[in-house]
Chain A
Amino acid sequence: MAEKKKKRAIPRQPMPEQAPEVRRRNFKEVPEGYGPETAMEEATRCLQCKNPGCVDGCPVSVDIPGFIGLIQDGDFKGAIRNLWGKNSLPAVCGRVCPQEIQCEGKCVLAKKGEAVAIGHLERFAADYEREHGTGELPPKQPPTGKKVAVVGSGPAGLTVAGDLIVKGHEVTVLEAFHKPGGVLVYGIPEFRLPKQIVAQEVHFLERLGVKVETNMVVGRTVSVDELFEQGYDAVFVGVGAGLPRFLNIPGENLVGILSANEYLTRANLMKAYLYPQVDTPIPRGKNVVVLGGGNVAMDAARTAMRLGAESSKIVYRRSREEMPARVAEVHHAEEEGIEFHLLTNPTRFIGNEKGRLVGMECLKMELGEPDASGRRRPVPVEGSEYRLDCDLVIVAVGSGANPLLTQSDSEMELNQWGYIVADPKTGKTTKKGVWAGGDIVTGAATVILAMGAGRIAADSMHDYLTLGW
Chain B
Amino acid sequence: MFTIVKREEMAGGTVVLNEIEAPLIANKAKPGQFVILKATEEGERIPLTMAETDPEKGTLTVIYMVVGKSTAVFKSLQEGDGYQDVIGPLGKPTHIEKIGTVVCVGGGTGIAVLHPITRALKEAGNRVIAIIGARNKDLLILEDRMKRASHELKICTDDGSYGRKGFVTEVLKEVLENERVDQAVAIGPVPMMKFVSKMTADYKVPTLVSLNPIMVDGTGMCGGCRVSVGGETKFACVDGPEFDGHQVDYDELMMRLQAYCEDEQKCYNDYCLLEQA
Contact A270/B219 with A281-B260, A281-B263 known, Cβ cut-off 8 Å: no
Residues of A252-305 at the interface with B, using a CB-CB cut-off of 8 Å, are: 252-256, 258-259, 261-262, 265-266, 270-271, 275-281, 283
Contact A270/B45 with A217-B88, A403-B238 known, Cβ cut-off 8 Å: yes
Whether A280 contacts B238 by the Cβ 8 Å rule is no
> Interface stretch among A44-52, A199-207, A240-248, A314-322?
A240-248
Contact A221/B224 with A275-B263, A279-B267, A281-B263 known, Cβ cut-off 8 Å: no
| Interface flag for A84 (CB, 8 Å) | no
| Interface flag for A214 (CB, 8 Å) | yes
Nearest CB of A to B211, in Å: 13
Whether A403 contacts B220 by the Cβ 8 Å rule is yes
A contacts with B: majority SS: loop
Residues of A369-403 at the interface with B, using a CB-CB cut-off of 8 Å, are: 402-403
Chain B positions 209 through 247: 1 when the CB is less than 8 Å from some CB of chain A, otherwise 0: 000000011011111101110000100001000000000
Residue from the list B220, B233, B252 in contact with A242, Cβ < 8 A: B220
Whether B219 contacts A402 by the Cβ 8 Å rule is yes
Residue from the list B24, B28, B216, B258 in contact with A266, Cβ < 8 A: B216
A399: nearest chain-B partner, CB-CB = B221
Whether B24 contacts A222 by the Cβ 8 Å rule is yes
Whether B87 contacts A217 by the Cβ 8 Å rule is yes
B contacts with A: majority SS: mixed
- Give the complex CA separation of A276 and B223 in angstroms: 23
| Interface flag for B186 (CB, 8 Å) | no
List the B side residues contacting A144 at CB < 8 Å: none
Whether B219 contacts A279 by the Cβ 8 Å rule is no
| Interface flag for A27 (CB, 8 Å) | no
Residue from the list A220, A275, A279, A283 in contact with B90, Cβ < 8 A: A220
List the A side residues contacting B256 at CB < 8 Å: 253, 255, 355
Residues of A397-419 at the interface with B, using a CB-CB cut-off of 8 Å, are: 402-404
Chain A positions 79 through 103: 1 when the CB is less than 8 Å from some CB of chain B, otherwise 0: 0000000000000000000000000
Whether B226 contacts A220 by the Cβ 8 Å rule is no
Number of A-B contacts (CB under 8 A): 120
Chain B interface extent, by class: 35 or more
Residue from the list B90, B220, B227, B263 in contact with A243, Cβ < 8 A: B220
Contact A270/B89 with A253-B256, A259-B222, A281-B263 known, Cβ cut-off 8 Å: no
| Interface flag for A151 (CB, 8 Å) | no
Whether B222 contacts A244 by the Cβ 8 Å rule is yes
List the B side residues contacting A256 at CB < 8 Å: 259
Residue from the list A186, A214, A221, A354 in contact with B28, Cβ < 8 A: A221
Whether B238 contacts A281 by the Cβ 8 Å rule is no
Whether B24 contacts A280 by the Cβ 8 Å rule is no
| Interface flag for B264 (CB, 8 Å) | yes
Q: Which of B85, B217, B258 has the most CB of A within 10 A?
A: B217
> Interface stretch among B9-17, B36-44, B146-154?
B36-44
Whether A265 contacts B221 by the Cβ 8 Å rule is yes
| Interface flag for A176 (CB, 8 Å) | yes
| Interface flag for A215 (CB, 8 Å) | yes
Nearest CB of B to A315, in Å: 19
| Interface flag for A425 (CB, 8 Å) | no
Contact A242/B267 with A255-B255, A279-B44 known, Cβ cut-off 8 Å: no
Nearest CB of A to B48, in Å: 15
Nearest CB of A to B12, in Å: 25
Whether B223 contacts A176 by the Cβ 8 Å rule is no
List the A side residues contacting B266 at CB < 8 Å: 276
Whether B228 contacts A255 by the Cβ 8 Å rule is no
| Interface flag for A178 (CB, 8 Å) | yes
| Interface flag for B270 (CB, 8 Å) | yes
| Interface flag for A177 (CB, 8 Å) | yes
Listed A/B pairs (22) with beta-carbon separation below 8 Å = A176-B87, A215-B86, A217-B87, A217-B90, A244-B221, A244-B222, A246-B233, A254-B255, A255-B255, A255-B258, A259-B224, A262-B222, A262-B223, A265-B217, A266-B216, A270-B45, A276-B263, A279-B73, A280-B45, A281-B267, A355-B252, A402-B220
Shortest 5 CB-CB contacts between residues of A and residues of B? A355-B255, A262-B222, A279-B44, A178-B85, A259-B223
